[in-house]
Amino acid sequence: MPEIIIRPPLQDATVKSLEPEKNFGATFYLGVGKAGDAVERALVQFPLAEIPAGAALKTAYLQLCLCENTFRAQPKEIALYRVLEPWEEYRVSFRKQPAYDPAPLSAVLLTGQAGGWISWEVSAVVRDWIAGTRPNWGLLVKMGDEKRLGVVRFYSRECSCSACWPRLVVSFAVGVCGAPLFTEGTETVTTEDADRGSTPCDLSTWRTVTVLVANGGPNPAVVQGEISADGAGWLPQGRSAILAAGQTYLFVPQIFLRFIRVRYRSAVPGCPTTLVVTWQAQR
């Protein structure tokens, strides 16, 4: 079974609550936990271009090299969370840290370790990133109990020793039979008076995609397909439409950019409705 080690990460950074506006993207370590009055968290994002097209992912592990573990005799649970929006290594701060899914992806318990590699399995989320069902905005690393004193620090990609850089260890199978040719996803949203956007779909590993929006609620809605190069700035693509109750809207992007989504709002102020957004893609 082939295995690759992806390092260094695309970007990584620490954020600290005691200095909520300050950026620590250039620091040689990634900190998590509570040091004095400051809570530290870490962000890390890996590129996935090294994974061969058509590869069927078997396992994926985030591995961080431990450089400091205060109150070492005290067990510490450190968990990973999926980041939900873009961030920038040399601009992110505690106050401007990206949103994250509150459900942990994986957790490990430190029980006295002073060094070495700490591993978290992240196979499910990496598989989603490769398939394009979720955008790859990286992972948040934080202590399970942020009120308890104790900080753990790992080497970042700014460390002078490249052997200690954060890494993503991926094993996969190569072959047409193991590579999915089709994928799909569904999201149910409720309109508001202001424009909102559906969860972005990453098209980097898919050739064609179609998005279907069905108005399953009682009121009309305005919908518009959008495309984006970075998942942050969006451009309209395709026609805008008003969907009455029970009607559907079909969006097929004619210009390729990496991300697509559907912008939506209530057609009548104060009259929300429920939309079911379904996308299907093939290689």
Would you say residue 177 has pLDDT above 60? Answer: no
Domain shared by 84 and 122, yes or no: yes
pLDDT digits (tens, 9 = 90+) for 64-95: 999 999 998 899 999 999 999 999 999 999 99
Domain shared by 206 and 273, yes or no: yes
CATH code of residue 247: 2.60.120.510
CATH code of residue 146: 2.60.120
Domain shared by 146 and 204, yes or no: no
Domain shared by 215 and 272, yes or no: yes
Domain shared by 193 and 255, yes or no: yes
Domain shared by 130 and 199, yes or no: no
- Percent of the chain residues topping a pLDDT of 90: 65
Q: Which domain holds residue 116?
A: 3-176
- Percent of the chain residues topping a pLDDT of 70: 96
Non-local (6+) Cβ contacts of 76 within 8 A are 33, 69, 109, 110, 143, 144, 145, 150, 152
pLDDT digits (tens, 9 = 90+) for 87-128: 999 999 999 999 999 999 999 999 988 889 999 999 999 999
Domain count, the chain: 2
Asked whether 134 and 202 are in contact (CB, 8 A), the reply is yes
Domain shared by 38 and 94, yes or no: yes
Domain shared by 122 and 143, yes or no: yes
Would you say residue 132 has pLDDT above 50? Answer: yes
Domain end residue (candidates: 176, 204, 234): 176
Domain shared by 109 and 152, yes or no: yes
Would you say residue 174 has pLDDT above 70? Answer: no
Domain shared by 71 and 28, yes or no: yes
The rounded mean pLDDT for the chain is: 90
Domain end residue (candidates: 129, 154, 176): 176
Domain shared by 136 and 268, yes or no: no
Domain shared by 145 and 220, yes or no: no
How far is the C-alpha of 159 from the C-alpha of 163, rounded, in Å?
9
SS3 for the chain is CCEEEECCCCEEEEEECCCCCCCECCCCEEEEEEECCEEEEEEEECCCCCCCCCEEEEEEEEEEEEEEECCCCCCEEEEEEEECCCCCCCCCCCCCCCCECCCCCEEEEECCCCCEEEEEECHHHHHHHHHCCCCCCCEEEEECCCCCEEEEEEECCCCCCHHHCCEEEEEEEECHHHCCCEEEEEEEEECCCCCEECCCEECCCCCEEEEEEEECCCCCEEEEEEEECCCCCCEEEEEEEEECCCCEEEECCCCCCCEEEEEEEECCCCCCCEEEEEEEEEC
Domain end residue (candidates: 155, 176, 197): 176
